[in-house]
Each structure stands twice: as structure tokens, then as C-alpha cells.
Structure 1
């Protein structure tokens, strides 16, 4: 017992004291839209697998749009983190610096996420704008007005209150995520690549109104096949538009198609396909299929498809229930690549009555990890009370000993 406590304390000290990284501090001149700004590339990065980032940190040009478009927080996180993960196949973290997207602005993304207009709808909107401008003795630029109304990428509908038409022509595209990857040359930061993530819906929620303005809510499921087919077409159109933007005619652009889970899902959706369009190319070639999935434990899907992993998690859960009478259940999320478990995150909610209980229970979980859970995948176990996170145990794939942090 005494040895185990010493081990836990040592591991905690190691976790809080070490700062892995690369001491490549570099000052660069960042030329963005003809405004030269002095930026700094940090001395450290978390690991060789992570990108360094320019400081001061510059938020994306479309910042905030994603939380209005994607209802599920776990999808918001996964589409951003997953896009960065897949970008590593094309933009080496050892050579590239990460920056949030600066080419697709907030207004532009919102316009692109809208529906296309039918010819009749387009002419009506354009004429109304022209009439308004003339009435107020303002300059009329019909070409510009018309262009603003032809940006939508989702399918058109003649009547938004027609349930059948809405179901036949759902909004497929939820959001467009942009990430930039830079290199430095002669102290100048240059965009060397762009990643575009297309977040596609799995369920389209909408409403119709009757004459009394009473709303009726509906939903329609979108299959993986449908999302992929639409995603392929959208990527082609977005590529054409981006190639017309200043500075992007000769920039490699990576596209990845992601399908969200429904808004109430405890696990995120999955990336389905990706491709790289080389510099100067105006057409998309072959797509590479991505075989990833997030699995909830416990669930029927986990038991049916990954029976052995489900049984191990079940045994881990049962052992905790035997130890702690107030245990109310554990939630697990497994991340699989090519049907191989790469990451397992377990969340244990408990009611504690003192720090001693937290220490004792953390020690018990440490032992259960050592005895039951394989070292073939990254593991994170979060122990929570009603009010806060109490402790975290983490182990990288291939390592024997979990690291421990107990919050004060």
C-alpha cells in the first residue's frame, strides 16, 4: 500500500513538472492582407505530433459561426480537432505552423450555408433591393446585388412550408471549417496549405407554418451515402470559389467530409473521406475513404460490434460498483480507426464526502486500470463529483504506468 501511494505521488510530480516541447523560438513577419505584423512562433509545443501556433493568437475570420450551426458540442470539438488530425497527413507538424482560417469570413460562410434561390426567388429579392436603393436615392449595383443572392450552397425549395419538398431537399451542409498551415521563409510567414472541413447533417430539423403561423416541427434522416454524395459536389464548388480568391490560385487545399451525430448524441460523428488538391489544380481527383467511428459504452452498438472491449468496460464498471455503494454509472467513449481501438475515455460520476474518499477511490481506479485495461490505446479516466472534476488518470498507448492528477 505504501509503495503504491509513493508511486502515485511520483507520477503526479512528473505530470505537473514536465513540459515537453521544441525550443525553436522564432520571430517572423506575418504579411496578412498587405499589413505586415510582427508575430512570434512559440519556443515550445506539446509534442512532435502537435503544431506550433503563431502568437499573438489570431481567431478565425468566421469565429463563432460554428456554435450557431452545429447543435452538439461534441461535434463542434471533433470537426475542428479531427480536421487538424487529418491535416497532418498533408501538412507535416514539424514543418508547418497552425493558424485558424483567415480567408472565409463570417459573412461569407453564413451566405454559403444558406439555400440556393430559385430563379423566381432570385429575381424577387434582387428587385426588392433595387427598389429600396432607388427609393432612398442610393447607388444601385445590380451585378453586386445579384451575386450576393447566389452564394447559397444548400438545395433550393420553392415553398419552405411544404413538408414534402423540405424532406426531399433537406439542408445537407451545416458548417464549413477552415484551417491554415504556414511555413516560414526568410522570416516571412507564408500560407503553404489550407484545410476545409465540410460538416454534413445526419438529421435535418425544420418546421412549417400554417396560415395562423402555428409551427409544426419535422425531421428527416440523411444517410452516410447521401451526405458523401452531396459533400463531393460541395467540395468541387467551394474549390472553384476559393481558387478565385486572392492568393489561393496556387495553394494546396485539403478537403475532408464529416457527418455529425444527432443533437442529443453523447458521442460525436465521424470523418468519412478526405482529399488533397495540389497547388494550381482546379479539379478534385480521388477521395480517400476514412474508416473512423466513435462508440458509446455501454451501448448495443458497442456490444454488437466490439464485444470484447464492451465486456472489459463492463467488468471495469462492475468492479467500481462493488467498491463504491453510491456509484450511479459510468459513460465511456471509444475512438476506433479501421475497427481498432485508439482511444478510450471513461467518465465516472460519484458523490464524495471528503478528500480522503477521492484519494482512496483514485488509488482503486489506478489498480483497476493496471489489471484490466490494455496498453494498446490512449486511455483517460475522469472522476467527477457534482460540482467539479476530482481527479484524472491518463495513460498513453504503449506506456505501462498511468499518470495521475488530483485536483485541489
Structure 2
């Protein structure tokens, strides 16, 4: 669980001044025939996590995702979820993880744009060719037109037309790349896999005039999947033309965003795999996962038993603590089965003794009531500050408590 890992890492950092030097493997990274020495730590947080090559290299498109996805929880889930789905194809035991190094900011922004209509393309290509000629440059009109026509979202002739905006929404919000490397017998690490997430809208917000009101157009799952598959085919073909990506396996996963104000993130809906050297994706696989808010009508309708368990836990705590204001929960489901439950309990505390007493009681209630076979995390907060943390992995019987000082 993310918060647990953060605390664990912090503890390691605090101890690093007096701890013995951590074991690490020194490898040579072979990148486009240019060799550079890198470090791969010998230890990782768990068998489910990838080891990462150091020094850590941020994505070449770093920061783009923040501009493109309106819901902060979608940002986290796209990144973490793509890594989770990549494990089916790139085993953490034998692959190292690195953020995307092939799609840079300019490329991603260009691909996220709209295609141009014929008239728009003719006009812009003519203007660029004319400017180049005036400055004494050789003009390659075919390349100019190709560079201008990079957008993966549908073309629109008149953005001020509500009818055209409704008929041709922007489906694609973001493209996320992740890289997976392996160490060869010669000690060098080479790219051996690429994963791509296509973040697709569930709701298209648009304006027909600058500064005007926003309108909304909902996008069905079926429509989104059809558009996502078409975009995925184009993306794979483009990747195959890039230096270093001609022969590596490529995973593409389609992510459905939630609405901007949603308290839970969206989820992945489909994935497909292109074998080494192939410019075509194989059969699409459906992904049956979702995040569910507790309490909510959706939780009561679809996951009634789980909703009642969470309610029972909240009711038990409410009996003894007057400052209690409620429990907000988020369940993560795969194939209809809850895999992780995160609960947030906001309270007003008057001292550490009250924090300790509340945490002890919440621990007992969690042990007795929240006994399902899923990862559990309970965040106890005051004024948006974490006071204590209760967590349990799915394979453990008893939760663990941390009181934060």
C-alpha cells in the first residue's frame, strides 16, 4: 500500500546515516549504442515491485499528465495501474523499471491534438512552406504535411459549433509510457518491453466560445473502447518507426477516466499486446476492475454485503467517540471481488492520548469486523494531518498500527 511504503522508505532514509552500505549491482546501460554506467539496487520493497535503475531518470514527457488529467486520483491510478498490468507481461523478478524515455513532451502534446481537416491542413502547410521559402530553406511539403497531421483526436471544422463538438469529441487525454529493461550476459541492460496507457475521457467538456460556459457530452464505454482501439493501432505503428522500438514487445492498455469531481479514480478497461517486431496488436482482453465509494448508492446496489460491513465498522466507532464525523471508504475490485479497502477517518483530537485511544479502538473494530481477504488501510486524520495508520495485507491475520509523532 502506497502510504505504508512511503513511511517505510522514510524510515530507511532516517536510518541510512548509521546503516551499513546497501548492496547494489553496477550495470552498464546500453542505450542507442551509447553506454553509461547505472546502479540497480539488490533489494526491493517486495516481490511485487520492480527494481529501478539509478540514477533515476524522469519521463521524457514529465509533467504532461498533470496538465491533461483533471482528477488527481486518475493521475496516480494511470501510473500505478499500468505498472500493475505490465506485470503479466514483464515479470518484476527479471525486469527493471524505468519511466518512458522515447515519447517526449512535444511528441505527446502533438499526438494529443486533433487531426486537421483537409482545408486546415492545406492552409497550414502552405503557410509553413511559404515561411521556409522566404527564409531560404529547402521545402519538403510532404514532411510538413506529415508533421502537421500528428493529432490522434478527431478533426473538427468549426469548434464554435455545438453540433460538431458533440459529434467529434476529444476522446484521448493522455499517453503514458513505461519502459522495462533486462540485464544481459555482458552486464548491460537493454530495453526489452514498453507499456503504453491511453487515458480516455468518460465526459467531454468543451466551450463553443472563448470564456463561455462549459458544456458536457458523456462518452459511453462502447464508444470509448472503439476509439481507443483505433488510436492504439496508430500508436503502435508510430512506435515501431522510432529508433530503438522496432523489435521490443509493446503492451497497450486503455484507461477510462472518471469525471473531474469524482471522489474515486477511473479504471483500466482493455489491454492488448504486440509481440516483438509486430506492428499489430493481438486480441483485446477485457479488464474487469473498478473503484467504489463507501457510502454510496452504487456500493449499496452492486456490493451490498461489503457496504454493510463498512457501515457496521463506522457505526461501531460512532458509539464511543463524540468527535467522530464519519468514514469515507474506497474499495478496489477485480472481477467483482474486493482486493483493497482504504478508509479515511477525519476527527478532532485534543491530545496524543486521544489519538492512542481512538487508534486502539479502531484497531479492535477493524480486526473483528473488517476480516475479509483484501488489503486494508485505515488513515486516521485531524485537520488533514495523518495521526495514525492501521494496515493489513491480504495474507495477514492481524492489522499493524503506527502512531505518528
TM-score, scaled to structure 1 = 0.92
SS at match of 2:208: strand
Q: Pick one of 283, 287, 291 that aligns with 2:288.
A: 291
Q: Pick one of 325, 336, 341 that aligns with 1:339.
A: 336
Single out whichever of 276-285 and 59-68 deviates more from structure 2. 276-285
Q: Distance in 1 between matches of 2:346 and 2:168?
A: 42
2:371 corresponding residue in structure 1 = 374
SS at match of 2:306: helix
2:60 corresponding residue in structure 1 = 61
SS at match of 1:208: coil
1:304 corresponding residue in structure 2 = 301
Single out whichever of 135-144 and 101-110 deviates more from structure 2. 135-144
1:181-236 residue CA offsets vs partner (Å, 9 max, x unmatched): 10001111111110011110000111011xxx552321100111111111111111
SS at match of 2:213: strand
1:207 corresponding residue in structure 2 = 207
1:329 corresponding residue in structure 2 = 326
Pairwise CA distance, 1:137 = 4.5
Pairwise CA distance, 1:108 = 0.2
Q: Distance in 2 between matches of 1:282 and 1:66?
A: 26
Matches within 5 A, 1:2-401: 25-185=24-184, 186-209=186-209, 215-401=212-398
Pairwise CA distance, 1:405 = 1.1
1:7 corresponding residue in structure 2 = none
Structure 2: gaps of 5 or more residues: 1-6, 17-21
Q: Distance in 2 between matches of 1:230 and 1:191?
A: 29
Pick 1 or 2: higher relative contact order, CA cutoff 8 A, min separation 6.
1
Structure 1: gaps of 5 or more residues: 1-11
1:268-292 residue CA offsets vs partner (Å, 9 max, x unmatched): 1111111211102121221111100
Q: Distance in 2 between matches of 1:74 and 1:395?
A: 22
Q: Distance in 2 between matches of 1:167 and 1:245?
A: 34
Single out whichever of 377-386 and 244-253 deviates more from structure 2. 244-253
Pairwise CA distance, 1:26 = 1.4
Q: Distance in 2 between matches of 1:273 and 1:241?
A: 20
Whether the 8 Å CA contact 2:390–2:401 is kept in 1: the answer is yes
Q: Distance in 1 between matches of 2:177 and 2:86?
A: 11
Whether the 8 Å CA contact 1:40–1:55 is kept in 2: the answer is yes
Q: Distance in 1 between matches of 2:384 and 2:378?
A: 17
> RMSD value over aligned CA atoms?
1.9
Whether the 8 Å CA contact 1:173–1:201 is kept in 2: the answer is yes
